[in-house]
Amino acid sequence: MIFIDACKRKETPYTPIWLMRQAGRYLSEYKEVRAKVGDFLDLCRNVEFASKVTLQPIDILDCDAAILFSDILVVPLEMGLGLDFVKNEGPKFRQCIRNENDMKILQNEAYKKLSYVYDTISLTRSKLSKDKALIGFCGAPWTLATYMIEGQGSKTYTHSKKMLYSNPNLLHKILQSLSDELKLYLESQIKAGVNAVMIFDSWAGALERDAYFAFGFKYINDIAKYIKSKYPQIPIIVFPKGVGGFLGAFKNIETNFDVFGIDWGIDLEYAKNILGQNFVLQGNLEPCRIYDFDAMECGVDNIIKIMGKQSGHIFNLGHGMLPDLPRENAIKLIQMVREKSKR
């Protein structure tokens, strides 16, 4: 698998590529399947359909890896917080965790209730061609905690940050209980057949450096250490979005993962100079360049010029695909990267 080789910095015939949120509403085929089940969470729970939409981008775009179709929020959902995806408003939890008493809602062993995810993985792996990797994933404890504390997405993270400063012990308790679940959740995904795992920390950039290392990155590193010690052959990708302002701080600490996801807000040359020796880098085309073919090609050329054609790079977007991006350009993007990065 070219994607797995690249995660391990081995030589590959070209730079492998996949796209964050490559399964989704920009594909009419996705919308058709989604319409059949109705609710987004029902799609995540429907093994046959979730597997089908996981495979769609492989058939349509021909990317080098498929990513499990699910959502980071199924973990807090199965920990006992009711969850709804409200149209045009995004995810909303029915209860949120704001004090010690709220912690009583949280149930242990949520990972055992996520068998629909493991079944989707085994079914998908059995259908996926042998040269394509299947990526499993989870949300990072900090990002999941913000949803559980705010009850929904947020621009300011007021409740989460208030807790961080005024009741850090409670926040650590929430983060620890999430980490305990996520270790076993990723482990179960690996046992079901994923070839790599990715940890999404979408709201890493909401914290200042020291707070991020104490409340965010610490827990990612713990999870990665657990997985690495048991499954050293499985590459681990970490995507801490919004940390460009303190990228240097990741250089001199002990970490347990292989690939660093670079978001589109970070200058890739700068990232390469700082982290390129320590990690394989994944990223970071600004997704909106896909609106325009020339802008896309210019972005691709720039990234390949910076990263060269040697090992050490996985091509991706710097954040997820958007629902109205043109699929024709997404298809061309995959072909373009493959041609332009040919060794």
Considering only residues 135 through 194, tell me which ones interact with ligand CP3, judged by CB under 6 A.
137, 153
- The 3-state DSSP class for residue 93 equals strand
Q: How many residues does the chain have?
A: 343
- Which range binds ligand CP3 by CB under 6 A, 2-10, 69-77, 119-127, 250-258? 69-77
Q: What are the structure tokens assigned to 187, written together?
A: 């482990």
| In the complex, minimum distance from the CB of residue 273 to ligand CP3, in angstroms, rounded to a whole number | 25
Total chain residues near ligand CP3 (CB under 6 A): 21
Angle between helices 327-340 and 47-61 (to 10 degrees): 60
Measured from the CB atom, the residue of 120 and 177 that comes closer to ligand CP3 is: 120
For the purposes of burial, counting CB atoms within 10 Å of the CB of 158, is it exposed (0-12), middle (13-18) or buried (19 or more)?
exposed
Phi and psi at residue 134, in whole multiples of 5°? Answer: -115, 125
User: Does 21 qualify as catalytic in the annotation?
Assistant: yes
Which amino acid, one-letter code, is at 342?
A: K
Q: What are the structure tokens assigned to 7, written together?
A: 């995660």
Instruction: Assess 22 for contact with ligand CP3 (CB under 6 A).
Output: yes
Considering only residues 71 through 90, tell me which ones interact with ligand CP3, judged by CB under 6 A.
71-73, 85, 90
- Which range binds ligand CP3 by CB under 6 A, 18-26, 126-134, 221-229, 279-287? 18-26
User: Does 71 qualify as catalytic in the annotation?
Assistant: yes
Instruction: Assess 134 for contact with ligand CP3 (CB under 6 A).
Output: no
Residues 6+ apart with CB under 8 A from 138: 72, 75, 182, 185, 186, 197, 199, 200, 223
Given the residues 71, 180, 258, 263, select the one marked as catalytic. Answer: 71
Which amino acid, one-letter code, is at 225?
A: K
Instruction: Assess 69 for contact with ligand CP3 (CB under 6 A).
Output: yes
User: Does 343 qualify as catalytic in the annotation?
Assistant: no
- The 3-state DSSP class for residue 242 equals coil
| In the complex, minimum distance from the CB of residue 217 to ligand CP3, in angstroms, rounded to a whole number | 16
Q: Which of 5, 8, 14, 25: binder of ligand CP3 (CB under 6 A)?
A: 25
Given the residues 26, 30, 111, 147, select the one marked as catalytic. Answer: 147
Instruction: Assess 200 for contact with ligand CP3 (CB under 6 A).
Output: yes
CA distances from 316 to 20, 287, 337 (A): 7, 9, 10
CB neighbour burial string for 220-230, b if at least 16 within 10 angstroms, e if fewer: bbbbbbbbbee
- Which range binds ligand CP3 by CB under 6 A, 64-72, 176-184, 225-233, 295-303? 64-72
Measured from the CB atom, the residue of 14 and 85 that comes closer to ligand CP3 is: 85
Q: Is the CB of residue 288 less than 8 Å from the CB of residue 317?
A: no
CA distances from 128 to 19, 54, 55, 111, 182 (A): 17, 10, 7, 24, 25
Measured from the CB atom, the residue of 63 and 306 that comes closer to ligand CP3 is: 63
Considering only residues 223 through 282, tell me which ones interact with ligand CP3, judged by CB under 6 A.
none
- Selection from 324, 239, 313, 340 nearest residue 287 by Cα: 324
Measured from the CB atom, the residue of 264 and 311 that comes closer to ligand CP3 is: 264
User: Does 25 qualify as catalytic in the annotation?
Assistant: yes
Residues 6+ apart with CB under 8 A from 226: 183, 187
For the chain, the distance separating the N- and C-terminal CA atoms, rounded to the nearest angstrom, is 17
Instruction: Assess 40 for contact with ligand CP3 (CB under 6 A).
Output: yes
Alpha carbon distance 180, 201 (integer Å): 17
Instruction: Assess 320 for contact with ligand CP3 (CB under 6 A).
Output: yes
Instruction: Assess 21 for contact with ligand CP3 (CB under 6 A).
Output: yes
Given the residues 5, 9, 14, 25, select the one marked as catalytic. Answer: 25
- Which range binds ligand CP3 by CB under 6 A, 63-71, 220-228, 257-265, 331-339? 63-71
Q: Which residues are annotated as catalytic?
A: 21, 25, 34, 71, 147
Residues that bind ligand CP3 (CB under 6 A): 20-25, 34, 40, 67, 69, 71-73, 85, 90-91, 137, 153, 200, 202, 320
